[in-house]
Amino acid sequence: MATASVAFKSREDHRKRLELEEARKAGLAPAEVDEDGKEINPHIPQYMSSAPWYLNAEGPSLKHQRNWKKLDIIPKNWYDRGAKVFQAEKFRKGACTNCGAMTHDAKSCMERPRSIGAKWTNKAIAADEKIETFDFDYESKRDRWNGYDTAAYAQVIEMYEARDAARRKYVKDQQLKMLEDKNSKLNKKSGGCDDEDFEDSLKLDEAKVDESKQMEFAKVEKRVRTTGGGSTGTVRNLRIREDTAKYLLNLDVNSAYYDPKTRSMREDPLPDMDPNEKFYAGAFYQGDNQNRLTGQALEFQKLNVYAWEAFDKGHDVHTQAAPSQAEILLKNFRINKEKLKGQTKESIEAKYGNAAAGEELPKELLLGQSEREVEYDRAGRILKGQEVIIPRSKYDEDSYINNHTSVWGSWWKGHQWGYKCCRQTLKLSVCTGAAGIKAAEAAADLMRDNIARKEATEDTRAPVEEKRLATWGTDVPDDLVLDEKKVAEALKKEDARRREEKDERKRKYNVKWNDETTAEEMEAYRLKRVHHDDPMKDFLS
């Protein structure tokens, strides 16, 4: 839609504007400039560069294509949670009937419902909350750390440090108490000792306790919660603080994604690097997904797959409800599977044998040749050695019938199989040998000569007028000639009769039957008769 500011232009002005646009596109004329002093690309289509009429654009501009509602300044502050702005002493009209605050109603009140609300008691009026409104963009609304106060985490650190200090003090007191009891027992057995010696030994033991505790706390430990009774324990943290962080292995923006909140990187940050170089560089890390394919994770995955398949087949197996049962069933399943494989293998070997487990095959079978020497005489009889035995199959071979010297199917001619020895196409025929082949060739030559002679001496016959013969019935003589005019009339009568059968309203009342049927009427009936086996019967009119 064109802009409203464009006034009427003559044909000459329109032509000049088109020439100017072509010059701008060719780079011969400078491009247009918007209100901010930026050049407008002349190749932008007109439906994009022209502003709508309701914007009242006075000059060339692309402001209507930009996000003009975007906030220039993103607010850095956050909601002041728990802040109060005013503390009233009396109930005000329109306030919450439960607590007396003006910032919400009784339905949205977060205080405990009172037996008698502040509207009637006019006591313990709650303060008004501080209500703020911020305009955030798309990224600010979805920022998981937006509004996070780092000072709040300092309180958490202080709480854990105080708890650790109390635990260390308690352990130290318990060990000192055990040392005092031990020294007192020794004193009783040895008959007593001086107070100075006892204090010196106590200080020495206390120094040993402090040194041992410092060595224990120097270890990198992680506090975990066990399943029994909510008690806590300590395990060695597998992450060494001197190692390179995951997000520093590859600083490319398009590399593997690193989640800072969970400190996880699923993909390999250096997929194209040589594994040996990775290992020597101290960065042998292939992503968190690599751990899912190693150790007991793969076994646990196989256990889950077995439980799913067994449950689909009707077995009550669940890895979370009864993990020990699932482990035992999987173990029994693998044992039975191996037994079944062994039984199948044994049955196959018992039926077909095992060539791999037997003795070595002879060289004549492996290499296809042998060094056996056989000596023959001039007549072909064996003088020395043993004749090579040709292996035979279980089927009948080299059996010829009816004095033939070749098998059936050794000769092919004219789409017929036959014998090569006598070229006969009858399977049960007696072999005639070469004489039969010569006789067959002479008969074929004689047949070709007779056909050529007949074609040469054949006289041309005079054209005979074709007559239409009857084609219905079996008792009709072959020389019955039909009249074409009577056949056409009979066809019309047959059409009229069929129309009467379809529509009973066209049937006449006084019907005279004629039992005498002519040959033409029978021919018309045969032509109009519908064959139910005909695939084209539905297309007939």
- Verify that 227 and 157 share a domain, yes or no: yes
- Verify that 445 and 488 share a domain, yes or no: no
Residue 520 inside a domain? The answer is yes
Q: Give residue-wise pLDDT tens across range 407-460.
A: 888 889 888 999 989 988 888 889 988 888 898 889 889 988 888 888 888 755
User: Where a domain ends, among 236, 257, 291?
Assistant: 236
Q: Give residue-wise pLDDT tens across range 304-361.
A: 999 999 999 988 899 989 999 999 999 999 999 999 999 999 999 888 877 777 667 6
Residue 266 inside a domain? The answer is no
Q: Give residue-wise pLDDT tens across range 71-120.
A: 555 556 778 878 899 999 999 999 999 999 999 999 999 999 999 999 99
Q: If you ran DSSP here, which 8-state letter would residue 476 be given? A: S
Structure tokens at 398: 């080299």
- Verify that 219 and 157 share a domain, yes or no: yes
| Maximum mean pLDDT: which of 161-170, 351-360, 507-516 | 161-170
**Please, is 523 exposed, middle or buried when counting C-beta atoms within 10 Å of its C-beta (0-12, 13-18, 19+)?**
buried
Residue 490 inside a domain? The answer is yes
- Verify that 499 and 434 share a domain, yes or no: no
- Verify that 176 and 232 share a domain, yes or no: yes
According to the model, what pLDDT value does residue 349 have?
86
Residue 427 inside a domain? The answer is yes
According to the model, what pLDDT value does residue 361 have?
67
Helices (H) and strands (E) in the chain — how many of each?
Answer: 13, 8
- Verify that 493 and 445 share a domain, yes or no: no
User: Where a domain ends, among 199, 218, 236?
Assistant: 236
In 3-state terms, what secondary structure has residue 357? coil
Identify the residue whose tokens are 């004629």.
Answer: 514
Residue 472 inside a domain? The answer is no
| Beta-strand relationship, 84-86 and 128-129 | antiparallel
According to the model, what pLDDT value does residue 2 have?
46
User: Where a domain ends, among 236, 268, 301?
Assistant: 236
Give the span between the Cα atoms of 157 and 164, in whole angstroms.
11
Q: If you ran DSSP here, which 8-state letter would residue 106 be given? A: G
The single-letter code of the amino acid at 491 is L
User: Which of 349, 325, 345 is CA-nearest to residue 337?
Assistant: 345
- Verify that 432 and 490 share a domain, yes or no: no
- Domain span at residue 417 reads 400-450
According to the model, what pLDDT value does residue 4 have?
44
Residue 522 inside a domain? The answer is yes
Give the chain's domain count.
4
According to the model, what pLDDT value does residue 478 have?
59
Contact, 523 vs 470, CB < 8 A? yes
Residue 493 inside a domain? The answer is yes
Contacting residues for 504 by C-beta, under 8 A, at least 6 apart: none
- Give me the chain's average pLDDT, please: 80
The model scores a pTM over 0.75: no
Structure tokens at 320: 């979370």
Give the span between the Cα atoms of 82 and 110, in whole angstroms.
12
Q: If you ran DSSP here, which 8-state letter would residue 474 be given? A: S
Give the span between the Cα atoms of 42 and 184, in whole angstroms.
101
Give the span between the Cα atoms of 517 and 527, in whole angstroms.
15
pLDDT tier for residue 46 given thresholds of 50, 70 and 90: confident
Residue 535 inside a domain? The answer is yes
Give the span between the Cα atoms of 128 and 102, in whole angstroms.
6
Structure tokens at 416: 């017929």
